Structure 1
């Protein structure tokens, strides 16, 4: 393969890619004219000095050396590690333009699927900083630097970013990254700890230490001392998910309240919870308003997890049935329903990607349906559901492409209308698109 020509060149940025990189084209006459060129750190309308860093079959990649003419939408990134850390790729873009870009991504996905909402919902936004209450930090001992790095991956995912702080993570974790790095560096097992997961409830924050070899008493004592000093609950994970166990304190409790519905949910440190607590509460209120449950009605909540939507729905519906594929989440959802005094909210464990004809809840009549699937979407279960009798469907999505695919199925194959859809900024400063759509029978 020919060597990459790294001679700096000027170019004008034509648009923004779905990953937050600027998109440019080579000038006519260039050997690669017409081949998309993705430039990290560049914004639409800017003239930049760039250098190619990678060649791919369908596109090339470059990096910005200098911004010659800046976009009026460019802002100063708050994070000192922006440009190196790969966690937040659009901090240099004004927040309102970030949200507009996500709305365009959703609209593009609908257009490609051949479907469109009758109305566009106003974007849902919340706290832009200190919002990430759950995540996974990579850990790597770097002998050349004689230190252990704890942070997110760099833009080049082969490397761990050397972070002193992170303003997207909740402060009780994001402002203690250096202390966490020093802690791991002090352990005898520092070379066999690949990751640390964090999960913050309202009153406690957990760190789950993944370790590939048994920890000695000295390391366990150091971890416990760190937990006491910084007010963390520390768990150890020597193997799979079933090996997670608390180190200190002996019986920590993680929970968060959904105050508008007088609901409290307990969870385990590796359970799925919505990352952005502020936006989660707004999203639940938004979804319930769109679903418009009436007294006496029955609601089906698919991909229900711990009951994030099911339990608030229980304050309005006569009966709620939540279905989730993870049996552990279902057990904790049932416990949450009991703890909140909601015997009319029932939970079932079922793999929603398989044949569901034998499931008892499939034949029950429901008035409203709420779905909140993973990135793969909900097509398999939608193809099996008897939709007759449903008055409304609300679909919460973390992947606009599968939402658009499933919306096209509901509209084209099942005769429903997509009344409205819009984006929700669950992950500010990233290109992740969370969205919501509401459907009614045609």
Structure 2
């Protein structure tokens, strides 16, 4: 609960009808001409709101009582909902979540870029539970008590987690064993974080430790990994290399497949991959379809990572150039190209936030371009290369705000927003993935 200000304490609870949601999932109503943002409220709710913070143009409030629930309101499935800082939309049914995600993206684009898509596509949908193939668990010991779990909403407090319904079942099944092994190690405080990752038919455990682990403790973790058939790595600190502790199949990497393109990609737990394989497969297929490539086309793939889009594009185009800032991902992309027998996919390293005009790849002509930037977006590269980019540009975004900002840059460069699709990459959360096709005649 947020601390109440003096003015908030002086404001008596009042009834409020909720008519919309903010981008971060708070309900919005109006009271005496003032906007009121209410945590955990939904459009269609009538609530008694209690103000917790007063600002000049709005109030922030919490629900004192739900008078009439929204038809879309549901009972959260997670027992620690409201404590863990993760899945904050569990009280909204899945169709409602899809609608909210689309509305947030459309609202940001209209407000900040003055753009509406010529065609709004149906959102790509995911199973609402058991979809998450990556997780980072914090380990804390306080007064000889172990906390293994996720951070609480708005704080660094660790909420213990014994089950997580959004985790892939193969990863959720590891949680009891991880806690039990931590409790029997000789130096449990040496472990600061545990990262979990799953491929299509494999899973891995990465232990981050701040002090060297004894041989006996390493053996204890190997026993756990062998019991669950999981890969095991140790890492003393970032960006130190991973040390393989156990591999059930003799392979040094995990893998996932893109069946439509007959591709298999290798990755490590420290490598970026999409957390939701169900959406990732649909997303890659839709991206290739929207770009409508010819066998002679050349494609530029910016922020390409380990080749998640680069390699599928290479199965349809004549040549694909992937550009990525992290040397480790560039090398992994090259390894994945070799593993899949693709000689028409080239991977280059470059910091795309810096001056790239002298880079050889930036001076070439392309028929299409794909961008999949981090949450900070692609402002620098778009401002630098706007006049050189091809007429077909596909933008994958995990942040509606930076998508809208960058869409404004593309609008100034003569592009129109031809197609838009929200993607259900993160069910139960306020986060939204978006695909936008920009065309310039």
Superposed pair shares fold, TM > 0.5: yes
- Shift in Å, 1:203: 2.5
Structure 2 residue aligned with 1:9: 13
User: Cα deviation per residue 1:286-309 (whole Å; 9 max; x = unaligned)?
Assistant: 111110001211111111101001
Distance 1:275-1:122 versus aligned 2 partners, 3 A rule:
same
Distance 1:307 1:208 in 2: 22
Q: Following superposition of structure 1 onto structure 2, how do residues 334-373 of structure 1 map, counting pairs within 5 Å? A: 334-373=334-373
Q: How far apart in 2 are the matches of 1:329 and 1:71?
A: 45
Could you report, residue by residue, the CA deviation over 1:61-100 in whole angstroms, capped at 9, with x for unpaired residues?
A: 5443542211100112222222222210001101111011
Between the aligned partners of 1:207 and 1:56, the Cα distance in structure 2 is: 45
Change (3 A) 1:56 1:169: farther
User: How far did residue 156 of structure 1 move?
Assistant: 3.7
Match of 2:169 among 165, 168, 171: 171
Could you tell me whether the CA contact under 8 Å between 2:386 and 2:410 is conserved in 1?
no
Deviation at 1:200, TM superposition (A): 0.9
Q: Distance in 2 between the 1:360 and 1:226 partners?
A: 48
Q: What is the match of residue 23 of structure 2?
A: 18
User: Is the CA contact (8 Å cut-off) linking 2:124 and 2:423 kept in structure 1?
Assistant: yes
Q: Deviations over 1:7-34 (max 9, x none)?
A: 9834323432222222345x44xxxx83
Can you give the 5+ residue segments of structure 2 that lack an aligned partner in the other structure? none
Match of 1:320 in 2: 320
Q: Deviations over 1:381-423 (max 9, x none)?
A: 12222645824111111111111111111112x1121112121
Partner of 2:423: 424
Distance in 1, matches of 2:357 and 2:279, equals 35
Verify the 8 A CA contact 1:82 1:88 in the aligned structure 2.
yes
- For residues 43 and 245 of structure 1, the distance between their equivalents in structure 2, rounded to whole angstroms, comes to 47
In 1: Cα distance, 2:12 partner to 2:261 partner: 57
SS at match of 1:221: helix
Name the SS for the 1:196 alignment partner. Answer: strand
Contact 2:171–2:197 (CA under 8 A) maintained in structure 1: no
> 1:7 and 1:165 mapped to 2: Cα distance?
40
Are the equivalent residues in 2 in contact too, given 1:147–1:185 (CA < 8 A)? no
Partner Cα distance (2:12, 2:216) in 1? 53
Following superposition, the deviation at residue 50 of structure 1 comes to 4.9
For 2:404 and 2:49, how far apart are their aligned partners in 1? 35
| Distance apart, 1:433 and its partner CA | 1.3
CA separation of 1:68 and 1:179: change in aligned 2, threshold 3 A: farther
Partner of 2:74: 75
Alignment of 1:117 onto 2:121: no
Structure 2 contact 34–58 (Cα < 8 Å) conserved: no
5+ residue gaps in structure 1?
none
1:180-231, Cα deviation, whole Å (9 max, x unpaired): 2222232232234221111111222111111111112232121111111122
**Paired residues for 1:181-260 under 5 Å:** 181-249=179-247, 252-260=252-260
SS in 1 for 2:63: strand
Deviates more, 1:346-355 or 1:160-169: 160-169
Question: How many Å separate the matches in 1 of 2:76 and 2:156?
Answer: 24
The 2-side partners of 1:215 and 1:59 are apart by: 52
Distance 1:115 1:386, change over 3 A: closer
**DSSP-derived class of the 1:357 partner:** coil
Distance 1:418 1:226 in 2: 51
Residues 335/220 of structure 1: CA separation in 2 closer, same or farther (3 Å cut): same
Cα distance in 2 between the residues matched to 1:390 and 1:439: 10
State the SS of the aligned residue for 1:435.
strand
Change (3 A) 1:389 1:155: closer
Secondary structure at the aligned position of 1:42 is classed as: coil
- Verify the 8 A CA contact 2:121 2:420 in the aligned structure 1: yes
Structure 1 Cα separation of the partners of residues 283 and 297 of structure 2: 21
Q: Relative to 1, partners in 2 of residues 1:214 and 1:7: Cα closer, same or farther, differing over 3 Å?
A: farther
Evaluate the alpha carbon distance shift between residue 56 and residue 173 of structure 1 in structure 2; reply closer, same or farther with a 3 A threshold.
farther
Report the number of matched residues: 433
Displacement of 1:327: 0.7
SS of equivalent residue, structure 1 residue 78? coil
2:9 partner SS: coil
CA offset at residue 49 of structure 1? Answer: 4.2
State TM-score, norm by structure 2. Answer: 0.92
Measured in 2, the distance between the counterparts of 1:225 and 1:8 equals 59
CA distance in 2, matches of 1:389, 1:179: 51
